[in-house]
Amino acid sequence: MTNRQRPALIASLVTWPLVLLIAFPLLWMLLTSVKPQAELFTTPPDFLPNAITFEHYRRVLEETAFLQYFRNSLVVAVSTTLLVVVVAVLGAYSLVRFAYRGRELLASLVLFTYLLPSVVLISPLYLMLVKLGLANTLASLVAAYTSFALPYALWLLRSFMAGIPEDLEAAAMVDGASRMGAFVDVVLPQALPGIISTALFSFILAWNEYLYALVLVNSDEARPLTTGVMTMLISAFNIEWSLLMAASVMMSVPLIVIFAFFQKYLTSGFGAGGVKG
């Protein structure tokens, strides 16, 4: 549509203000978190802080259970990701390459669960996990998060694996590999970008989850960041926005890291998972 060589100046002038408007809330979060408390309540507010302070970060880390929540979130997100990726890599390979009765039905079921509202599953899952004695544990969160991360991962990987030429496996088998040998030697390396993408998505989904954590966990020992940070908001007498913004920034660090270094995997996973079908 445009001349590919020359930057479109007019388009830049239209786009960038919009981009900055979209990014503003995040920028404001960052600025608020480093402003001295007093500067928050000036009218009209100053855009840039007059003095930069990391006091709020120190207080979040030292005076709240933030680190405990962070550790919980990390454990839950990493465990969920590992579980989901292992199960989904095998399952997706089976769905793509093997023929058996019920395969189509299963694929449709996966797609269906991908759309299922969490609130439908929440009560029975809660009852089930209480019965198993898992309430208030990190394990209960891993189980619950698997319910949405696994269908997502299966759907994503199925689409990635369908793109690997079958000839490669055939060649490997002729060359002396068993079926699983061909899977390990050829399919896994080829699916690696898809696996990375799936792992990142699972991690992000688990890291950001709120509802299950709200219902399944009510002790600080097992509480992840999402509900933990909200507890900080609710328990405080008057809301300390500087603290919350500092906590928000720190809570977003893993996402920022993922986003900065692995963005291409996120966008490719996007195409494969939701939209192209």
User: Binding of another protein at residue 77 (CB under 8 A)?
Assistant: no
Of positions 34, 60, 85, 125, contacts another protein by CB under 8 A: 125
Contact with another protein (CB under 8 A): which of 65, 75, 82, 97?
97
Residues 240-269 that bind another protein (CB under 8 A): 241, 244-245, 248, 251-252, 255, 258-259, 263, 266-267
Helices (H), 132-208: 138-162, 166-174, 179-182, 188-208
For the range 107-112, what are the long-range contacts, defined as Cβ-Cβ under 8 Å and sequence gap of 24 or more? 107/158, 110/151, 110/154, 110/155, 110/158, 111/151, 111/155
The residue range among 11-19, 49-57, 64-72, 74-82 that interacts with another protein, by the rule CB under 8 A, is: 11-19
Residue among 120, 219, 237, 238 that touches another protein (CB under 8 A): 120
Among residues 204, 172, 203, which one has the least CA distance to residue 188? 172
Q: Do 161 and 191 form a contact (C-beta atoms < 8 A)? A: yes
- Separation between Cα atoms, residue 25 and residue 22, nearest integer Å: 7
Q: What angle do CA 188, 190, 193 make, to 5 degrees?
A: 95
> Does position 180 bind another protein by CB under 8 A?
yes
- Pick the closer one to another protein by CB: 67 or 130: 130
Q: Does 143 bind another protein (CB under 8 A)?
A: yes
* Part in contact with another protein (CB under 8 A); list of ranges 52-60, 63-71, 74-82, 142-150: 142-150
Q: How many CA atoms lie within 13 A of 261 on its CB side?
A: 7
Under the criterion CB under 8 A, does residue 85 sit at the interface with another protein? no
Told to check if 82 binds another protein by CB under 8 A, we report no
Map the footprint of another protein across residues 181-220, applying CB under 8 A. 181, 185-186, 189-190, 204, 207-208, 210-211, 215
- Exactly one of 115, 219, 235, 238 binds another protein (CB under 8 A); which one? 115
Does the protein bind another protein through residue 275 (CB under 8 A)?
yes
DSSP 8-state secondary structure symbol assigned to residue 46: P
- CB-based burial, 52-68: b 16+ in 10 Å, e otherwise: eeeebbebbeeebbbeb
At CB < 8 A and 24+ separation, what contacts does 234-237 make? none
- 6: helix, coil or strand? coil
Decide if residue 38 touches another protein (CB under 8 A).
no
Q: Give the C-alpha separation, 265 to 149, whole Å.
A: 17
Residue 46 gets the label, from left (phi > 0), alpha (psi -120 to 50) or beta, of beta
State which of residues 38, 48, 62, 124 lies at the interface with another protein (CB under 8 A).
124
Q: How far is the CB of 62 from another protein (least distance, A)?
A: 20
| 13 to 32: interface string for another protein, x by CB under 8 A | -xxx-xxx-xx-xx-xx--x
Residue 227 C-beta: closest distance to another protein, Å = 8
